[in-house]
């Protein structure tokens, strides 16, 4: 199921610009060697284990390029797949299948890699209150699809961009003149523009956290690069007055210990900037 930000308008624009980039004035190879009326069938073959993502997008790409293509889905988004699985078959004009093949594969391999890593990390913190969050460390012009993949993998989306919340990072705090100044200026800005946006602030140590708690008025605190002892103390100090996000250098080896500190969220930039694409191919069989 598509999240609200994956609108028909967005999909139309994405497919059009992606195909324009790849096809340009025409798929000369396909047009040169494949008869216009030739029909074909192809299978999406999975070549390694993981979590499948991008099936719904693939059906949109095929149908928006050529509405006569017929897709039979065998594995839906979020399915655990293994080598040899057939995710779907597509039938119709051979030229259309070949022209859209690479766009479909590029999207699905990337999205499935992100979903697979997200599911793996989420499984490592099962039983705790923490949820996995994504970040803005995404591929330009592919962000919304990467964030969709995080949802498919069992994570949660943080902000979609700079426009949907106020996040006071360390550079903002330093250039504003300190924690209190940054928070107060953010509040003034939001009131002046009648904006109902949440405020999150990053803290680097317990001293900065104490300043945040004394100032008040924030919805979430990011505990950046703290060790487990500091994080536990930070959660105790906050005492549920706002949400907590752990961030910075968190790995598969450390994520469980971080979750057990009692934080609400763990943000992992690697979900989108370091996920390995899942291997798959589209193979014609008739």
Of these residues, 77, 224, 245, 264, which one is catalytic? 224
The structure tokens 């992606």 sit at: 18
- The reply to whether 47 belongs to the active site is no
Of these residues, 134, 200, 202, 208, which one is catalytic? 202
Q: How many CA atoms lie within 13 A of 187 on its CB side?
A: 11
Strands 166-168 and 199-203, by their bridges, are: parallel
Distance separating alpha carbons of residues 157 and 131, to the nearest angstrom: 10
Strands 39-46 and 280-284, by their bridges, are: antiparallel
**Phi, psi at 40, each rounded to 5°:** -155, 165
- The reply to whether 196 belongs to the active site is no
- Residue 277 β-bridge partners: none
Distance separating alpha carbons of residues 278 and 48, to the nearest angstrom: 7
Of these residues, 70, 129, 169, 241, which one is catalytic? 169
Whether the Cβ atoms of residue 235 and residue 262 lie closer than 8 Å to each other = yes
Of these residues, 102, 136, 143, 156, which one is catalytic? 102
Q: How many CA atoms lie within 13 A of 74 on its CB side?
A: 12
- The reply to whether 187 belongs to the active site is no
- The reply to whether 198 belongs to the active site is no
Give the gyration radius of the chain's Cα atoms.
23
Instruction: State the Cα torsion 103-104-105-107 to the nearest 10°.
Output: 80
Of these residues, 120, 136, 137, 143, which one is catalytic? 137
- The reply to whether 283 belongs to the active site is no
Distance separating alpha carbons of residues 100 and 60, to the nearest angstrom: 11
**Phi, psi at 81, each rounded to 5°:** -125, 165
What are the catalytic residues?
102, 137, 169, 202, 224
């Amino acid at each position: 199921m598509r999240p609200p930000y994956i609108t028909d308008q967005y999909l139309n624009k994405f497919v059009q610009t992606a195909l324009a980039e790849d096809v340009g004035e025409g798929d000369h190879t396909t047009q040169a060697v494949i008869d216009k009326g030739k029909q074909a069938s192809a299978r999406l073959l999975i070549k390694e284990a993981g979590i499948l993502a991008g099936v719904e997008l693939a059906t949109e790409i095929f149908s928006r390029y050529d509405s006569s293509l017929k897709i039979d889905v065998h594995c839906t988004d979020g399915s655990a797949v293994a080598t040899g699985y057939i995710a779907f078959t597509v039938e119709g004009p051979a030229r259309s299948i070949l022209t859209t093949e690479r766009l479909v594969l590029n999207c699905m391999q990337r999205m499935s890699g992100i979903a697979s890593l997200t599911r793996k990390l989420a499984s490592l913190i099962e039983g705790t209150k923490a949820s996995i969050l994504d970040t803005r460390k995404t591929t330009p012009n592919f962000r919304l699809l990467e964030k969709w993949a995080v949802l498919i993998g069992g994570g949660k989306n943080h902000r979609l961009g700079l426009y949907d919340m106020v996040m006071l990072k360390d550079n903002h705090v330093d250039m504003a003149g300190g924690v209190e100044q940054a928070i107060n200026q953010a509040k003034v800005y939001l009131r002046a523009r009648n904006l109902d946006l949440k405020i999150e602030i990053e803290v680097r140590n317990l001293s900065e956290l104490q300043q945040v708690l004394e100032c008040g008025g924030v919805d979430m605190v990011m505990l950046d690069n703290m060790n487990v002892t500091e994080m536990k103390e930070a959660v105790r100090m906050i005492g549920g007055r706002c949400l907590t996000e752990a961030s910075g250098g968190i790995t598969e080896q450390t994520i469980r210990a971080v979750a057990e500190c009692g934080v609400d969220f763990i943000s992992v930039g690697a979900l989108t900037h370091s996920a390995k694409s899942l291997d798959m191919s589209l193979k014609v069989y008739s």
